[in-house]
Amino acid sequence: MRVAKMQREDKPSLLLSFHTEIKQDVLEEHLKTATVFKGTSKTIQNELLDCMLSVLKDYILEEVKSADFIAIQADETTDVSTHCQLVLVLRYIDANSNIQERFFEFITIQNANDDTIATALLERLSSILPHGQKAKLIAQAYDGASVMRGATGGVQRKIMDVYENAHYVHCYAHQLNLIMQQATSRIPRIGTFFSDLAGFSAFFSRSPKRTTVLDQVVAHRLPRASTTQWNFHSRAVNTVYEHKDDLLMCFQTIRDSGNFDPPTVREAGGFVRMLEDEAFCFFLALFHKIMPNVDMLFSQLQKRNIDPVFIKEIVQRFTDSMLTIRASIPSLCGDRASDEQQQPIKRRRMLGPVEQQRLATEVCDAILIHAKERCLCDFPKLIPVPTHAELHDHLSALLFFRPIRCATSTMSSSFPDKWGVIFASRRMVSSLAFSSFE
């Protein structure tokens, strides 16, 4: 981050925020009394930041140099000034057999097409892995965009043409987004529900006057809409569910106050009918049960030290939770029916208990099927294991059950050179490639 402007002397200096061997009171006294160098100039602070970045990069490169294998993660993003940047992360096992995941740099690119991204990555990789070390790159992880994953002209193909061991692995956190999107988009009523849900945030984001009423009545802001991250839907479901009565009162206030223009009154009336609609409230309650499990899986997939065994365990726990929710659907439908009998407001019945149960079961089954297909059946098929029966048995057992901290040299020395290289490559890809970031 660059220092945008000169800091005033009566405000805390950037230098004071760093932990150094110098006592803070000594440093503070120096900054107050020094006449030659204070370090409060934005130019000096930016130079210091550049020096720190240089030292940090050198340290990371030294670790990479001593690592036997590395993997890269990359994603394109646009900053607040609409400049296109590429995020590059390095993942490797250090000399102490610990998995390290290091942010390396932002790479400025002109556009986000496959040629530009691949050229930028290849340029950086040539400096990270000098001549003779190409075989060390054994995995590349991106999102599922066609630009990145294209089998013939995508970034992963262009990288693999140069680094033949760099097998492509789809980011697992991004896969979770796809699981939820695919599971819900195929059911028209569910797609309509989430489209309506996104309207809550959009309604208040366009007007400070509306937001003022929201703050006064609900005293809680709605999450901002996002078309790329599923956890927006999770936060929106939880917020609307927990503050449903207050939101209903808020929309009624906007509709009946007489202080808003006709389009606003019309939209507010639509949200009142939506919050009183049986089908909308049923799906809101259903996804309020599902979303905490999705959030838990999402957070677990964001951890650095993950491998195929860990992924299988957390996906299995997610599956068990979804099966529990699926089994509780009849009681959920019954609770909704009893709640309706107690409501004094008469509303047109849109879904019967049988239809509610069918749709809820279909949602749970779709999530379970996609989770199994994408997370449990998508481990990389990398280098074929030799057909020798004894070698196959040993490699399979060690690959899945041997501790991660076992040194590569020990693994390789247990087998002939050719077989040892095959084993090490498969083992390290399992450790390095199964990573995620958004």
CB contact at 8 A, 424 and 68 = yes
Whether 356 has a pLDDT exceeding 60, the answer reads yes
How many structural domains does the chain have? 2
pLDDT score for 8: 40
State the maximum Cα–Cα separation within the chain, in Å, rounded to a whole number: 83
- Is residue 9, in this structure, part of any structural domain at all? no
Whether 2 has a pLDDT exceeding 60, the answer reads no
- Give me the count of residues in the chain: 438
Does residue 354 share a domain with residue 269?
yes
- Is residue 293, in this structure, part of any structural domain at all? yes
- Is residue 347, in this structure, part of any structural domain at all? yes
Does residue 253 share a domain with residue 337?
yes
Whether 83 has a pLDDT exceeding 90, the answer reads no
Does residue 249 share a domain with residue 329?
yes
- Is residue 411, in this structure, part of any structural domain at all? no
Does residue 143 share a domain with residue 180?
no
Does residue 139 share a domain with residue 59?
yes
When mean pLDDT is compared across 165-169, 282-286, 432-436, the lowest value belongs to 432-436
Is 254 strand, coil or helix?
A: helix
Q: Is 277 exposed, middle or buried (0-12, 13-18, 19+ CB in 10 A)?
A: middle
For 254, residues 6+ apart whose C-beta sits below 8 A from its C-beta are 210, 213, 260, 264, 265, 268
Structural domain for 350, as ranges: 176-305+316-371
Average pLDDT over residues 319-347: 72
Does residue 152 share a domain with residue 186?
no
For the CA atoms of the chain, what is the radius of gyration?
Answer: 27
User: What kind and span of H or E run contains 310?
Assistant: helix 308-327
Mean pLDDT of the chain: 77
pTM of the model: 0.63
Domain final residue, candidates 155, 170, 185: 170
In 22-165, DSSP assigns E strands to: 70-78, 84-93, 99-108, 137-142
pLDDT score for 120: 93
- Is residue 14, in this structure, part of any structural domain at all? no
pLDDT score for 49: 87
Does residue 356 share a domain with residue 234?
yes
